[in-house]
Chains A and B, each alone.
Chain A
Amino acid sequence: MELKIRKNGNNYIIDVNGEMDLYNSYKLKELVMKMLEKKVEHFIINLENVDYIDSSGIGALIYICSTIKKMNFRLIITNIHGSVKKVIELTKLMGYFPITNSIEEAILQMEE
């Protein structure tokens, strides 16, 4: 799994490439923690290139989501599709995670 960061205004977009499984999901957690230390406050996690996620990956997203909420910062997860979307639906977390269908919508929502 590869992680890339890019900026859009105040928003930091993390592009995740590959599979978020039990062997590498911790990497996303660690990256977000590091970014929080560096005072990043707006996170957009782009899962466009993620075709596979398991409970560890969901767990990492849950952890990231609750940490960011606690600090009163903003997080949006975008571009979920295929089995990734299916897993989030099966765990009934579609309403829990802040999700948009595209990065554009995420940026719009961030401004509200």
Chain B
Amino acid sequence: MTAISFSQILASPLLARLLVLACATAIFLIVRRKDTEGQAAAFIATIGLLVMRDLLVMLFPIAELQNLSDIFYFGFALFIFLAPFKKARIPLIAVLVVNVVVAALYLSTIFAGFAAIPGWGVGALLVADAAFMALMGLLNSRDAERGSHHIVSDSWIFSTAVLMVYAVLALALGHGSAVFEGLIVPVSYGWLVAAGLVGMNILDQQTLAAVSYYEAAIDSLYNLSFRVGTVLKGSFSTEDVIASMNEVIVEETGADGGSIYLVDEFDDVIIAKALSGSFPPPFLLPESLPRKQNRVESFMRHAQFRLGETVLGEVAKTGKNLYAADVAADGRFPGNGEEDFLRLSSFMAVPLMVEDKIIGVSAVSRSRPGTPFGEADFDRLKLLANFGTLAVSNFFSFLEATERNSIEQTAGIAAEIQRTIIPKKLPQFQSLAIGAYSSPARGVSGDYYDLIRTREDKIVGVIGDVAGKGVSAALIMVMIRSILHLITNTNRDMATVLDWVNKGIAGKIDMDHYATLGLIAINIVTGELEYANASHQPLLIYRRASDMVETIDMKSVPIGVERSTTYQRKALRLYDGDIAVLYTDGIVEVLNEQGKQFGRKNLSQLIARHKDLSPKDIVGRIKQEVSKFIGTARQHDDQTVLVFKMKL
């Protein structure tokens, strides 16, 4: 044992060795972070062994220790380079056993004095080990997978060479040699550094490859978003959107053609929504279909299958991907013929999913033989199908929400239209008082009422019920109102007015265009009354003289049914205290909780009961009574009442 001083350490070969080992350690620590196969760990263990060995040797510079440690050193190296290869396992174990045996014998030589192994014996063993490593490396490299890079497979050549040189020089020079200790050994550790660098290079390559893969994937996603987005901006049609998604998928997978199918909203069928390029049928065509290109293409463009029917229906039903790189070898595809447009060489189909629901299938095909779809193409298809579906379904959820919105919006528009045509103020006269109320059942009312001052002495009361709901009903209302306002101040009788309204509406419009109408024209000076009716509820007149309510009706047909309909009128007269009432179905046909109708009789009695009240108050009472009658039952129909009271 020699005392150690700092300068001695500096001068000793330990520093050089430790520096090299430190470099290698640093490199392998970096590699280890990303190394999934644990090879880095083995290298680091070897480095650790060497560090320990060198420290020990510095403290106890005994050649025997060095020799022994070399056996362990080479044992580790053998393990690193041969363990990854299954075929080399048995020879490896055999060699390691030999090494252990030699080491044991060597130990016994040192301590027990058996001269079993001479000093050069270890060296010979090391050379043999190195040779063995070289041989195995050669054999294994022939078996190695093409293209896969591992530290071991990429560095075995120079590592083995360096170790071989080490071993030979160890044998020739021995550990006693200063050149060996000071130069050869530290430099030889360089193979660890080199191996580490090889490892880092491999990691770099992998990172680059991944980056390049993701770049391509992102490019394709961008392409998809851009194309589909452009279509979405211009068109809300599903066909256009799905068609552009299909085109991008065909392009990005390098397919010859492709098609997208969507599951029907309600039935268990999938229907082709887009087709582009050459997409031969992956199933048997019906016998009756002529095998001509345009007929087949037309058939495929509109094809539909039940879930489970044909390979496409299978994908739609099970949600399992279909990847048939070589269609000819795949038993699921019946041939339809050898013509270009019927031949299929490679095929892929994936389900389109929204959350957990299968909403469709995207399929692509190649026709030219010898050009199968690769794994990368399959990955690309899955990526684009998923992303595309997500984007498109988000859009359609948005559309659905706006459609619901627009249903509410159209109700809003209809209500607006109505607001503008319902009379804001009821005209009142010395001799004639008027009351009115209108209450819609749900949203927009189909009821219409109006009061038109046609002459100094004449007022026309209108009541109507337009069939249908929403904007079209509101528009019919507007048309009727316009016509009425135009013609009531001609001196025509009310029957003629109805004729003209009817001719203005019937047979001209494509949408639903029916309405009932009741018209009364009252002369506020004389009390003369003219009544015409187009299938509306009959007029009720309370007569003060007899304290009775008369029902004035006529057989007629609603406005809009037939252009040729002619309408009738009745001429009557109102006297002081008489009350004329126009109303809609919603009043007399309203049901209470027991399902009984309010009825015209009830209404008549109600009017008679309140004969002394003003029209405004009579209307109020009617409203009250009907409300009481309904109770908790729902109001199904719009309710409107118009009351006229004569005060001559």
Which A residues are closer than 8 A to B by beta carbons? 18-19, 100-101, 105, 108
Contacts and interface: CB of A to CB of B under 8 A. Distances in A.
8 contacts: A18-B510, A19-B510, A100-B298, A101-B298, A101-B301, A101-B302, A105-B298, A108-B294
A108 B510 CA distance: 32
Contacts of A105: 298
Given A101-B298, A101-B301, A105-B298, 5 more contacts: A18-B510, A19-B510, A100-B298, A101-B302, A108-B294
| Chain B contact surface mostly | helix
Nearest to A95: B288
Nearest to A49: B510
Nearest to B302: A101
A18 B507 CA distance: 11
Interface string B265-304: 0000000000000000000000000000010001001100
Across the A-B interface, give the 6 residue pairs with the lowest CB-CB distance, nearest first: A18-B510, A105-B298, A101-B302, A108-B294, A19-B510, A101-B298
Contacts of A100: 298
Contacts of B294: 108
B22 to A, nearest CB: 77
Contacts, number: 8
Nearest to A24: B507
Contacts of B510: 18-19
Interface string B467-510: 00000000000000000000000000000000000000000001
A101 B294 CA distance: 13
A91 to B, nearest CB: 17
A100 B302 CA distance: 10
Contacts of B301: 101
B271 to A, nearest CB: 12
A19 B301 CA distance: 28
A103 to B, nearest CB: 13
Nearest to A108: B294
A100 B297 CA distance: 13
B219 to A, nearest CB: 35
A100 B294 CA distance: 13
A105 B294 CA distance: 9
A80 B294 CA distance: 20
A101 B271 CA distance: 14
A108 B297 CA distance: 13
Contacts of A19: 510
A108 B294 CA distance: 9
Nearest to B509: A18
A105 B298 CA distance: 8
A100 B298 CA distance: 9
A18 to B, nearest CB: 5
Interface in B297-331: 298, 301-302
A105 B301 CA distance: 12
Contacts of A18: 510
A108 B302 CA distance: 17
A105 B510 CA distance: 28
B578 to A, nearest CB: 42
Contacts of B298: 100-101, 105
Nearest to A105: B298
A50 B528 CA distance: 49
A58 to B, nearest CB: 20
B634 to A, nearest CB: 29
Nearest to B290: A112
Nearest to B301: A101
A70 B298 CA distance: 27
A49 to B, nearest CB: 9
A65 B520 CA distance: 52
Nearest to B510: A18
A18 B512 CA distance: 12
A49 B312 CA distance: 33
A23 B302 CA distance: 33
A81 B399 CA distance: 21
A84 to B, nearest CB: 14
Q: Which one of B301, B302, B510 has the highest number of Cβ atoms from chain A below 10 Å of its Cβ?
A: B510
Most buried by B among A18, A19, A100, A105: A105
A19 B510 CA distance: 7
